[in-house]
Amino acid sequence: DQAASELERMLALKRSETPGAGGVEPWDTSYYNNKLRRTAYDLDEFSVSEYFPVERVVSGVMELYAGLFGVRFAPSEAAAWHPDARVFDCSDAADGRPLGRFYLDLHPRDGKYKHAAVFPLVRGRREADGSYRHPSAAMLCNFQAPAGGRPGLLRHAEVETFFHEFGHVLHNLLTESPYSRFAGTRVARDFVEAPSQIMENWAWDPAVLRRVSGHWKTGAPLPE
């Protein structure tokens, strides 16, 4: 019922521009959804994005997850496949034990995968000598790159995407399965998404948003 009501509002907006329009087509929805936000709620997602520079979101999310899981993230000197891709090592905050490595490749370029996703590169497993093979994973996104003196800025939906995909990164890195066949996201299909869907809800929590936001000019967090 709520969806039907909002669709009627979007149709009214469309008819204000195209009298006699019979319906809102799938290719119309993003345009009129954004227009509805502006006209009914005075909400401009691109103004909101000024509070989410990519680097602030990345550091804020890492800080949040480091505290939650008792781990540390540190830049690595390891090589990556492109200058835009950065490498981080993950270790246990209590004893410094290495846990894994991940790659962040966040900006678009020609020939790059176009969706947001995390790919396991090395699966964790218990080795014959009793040691644990450290897993690694790569997170690929296509967020706005810095340009013209401005940092790359994320729309709120993209902040939510970052929370979600970073959940997949940790799902891969914090595994303790003795067998690579069941390590990381190699779990029951429905549970592949469970940690990420839990974590992405924090992108709607005001206290968390204050921690991961900072206006690119003033540094001020997103207002309540």
pLDDT above 90 as % of the chain:
91
- pLDDT at residue 118, as a whole number: 97
Residue 124: enclosing H or E segment and its boundaries? none
* CB-CB contact of 128 with 110 (8 Å): no
Q: Which residue has the tokens 């835009």?
A: 84
> Helices marked H in the chain — which ranges?
2-17, 29-41, 45-48, 54-69, 156-173, 189-192, 194-200, 206-212
Highest mean pLDDT among 40-49, 67-76, 192-201: 67-76
> What is the C-alpha separation between 155 and 118, in angstroms, rounded?
20
pLDDT above 70 as % of the chain:
100
* CB-CB contact of 103 with 165 (8 Å): no
> What is the C-alpha separation between 3 and 106, in angstroms, rounded?
33
Q: What angle, rounded to 10 degrees, do the helices at 29-41 and 2-17 form?
A: 90
Sign of CA dihedral 172, 177, 182, 188: negative
pLDDT digits over 145-176, tens only? Answer: 999 999 999 999 999 999 999 999 999 999 99
Q: Which residue has the tokens 């592949």?
A: 192
pLDDT digits over 127-137, tens only? Answer: 999 999 999 99
* CB-CB contact of 74 with 59 (8 Å): no
Verify whether residue 176 is a known catalytic residue: no
**Marked catalytic residue, from 50, 158, 165, 200:** 165
* SS3 category, 106: coil
- pLDDT at residue 224, as a whole number: 87
* Residue 198 backbone phi and psi in degrees, to 5: -65, -45
Q: Is the pLDDT of residue 98 over 90?
A: yes
- pLDDT at residue 56, as a whole number: 97
Q: Which residue has the tokens 């970052």?
A: 162
Q: Which residue has the tokens 């029951």?
A: 188
Q: Which residue has the tokens 């974590």?
A: 199
- pLDDT at residue 77, as a whole number: 94
- pLDDT at residue 112, as a whole number: 96
pLDDT digits over 22-67, tens only? Answer: 999 999 999 998 899 888 888 888 899 999 999 999 999 999 999 9
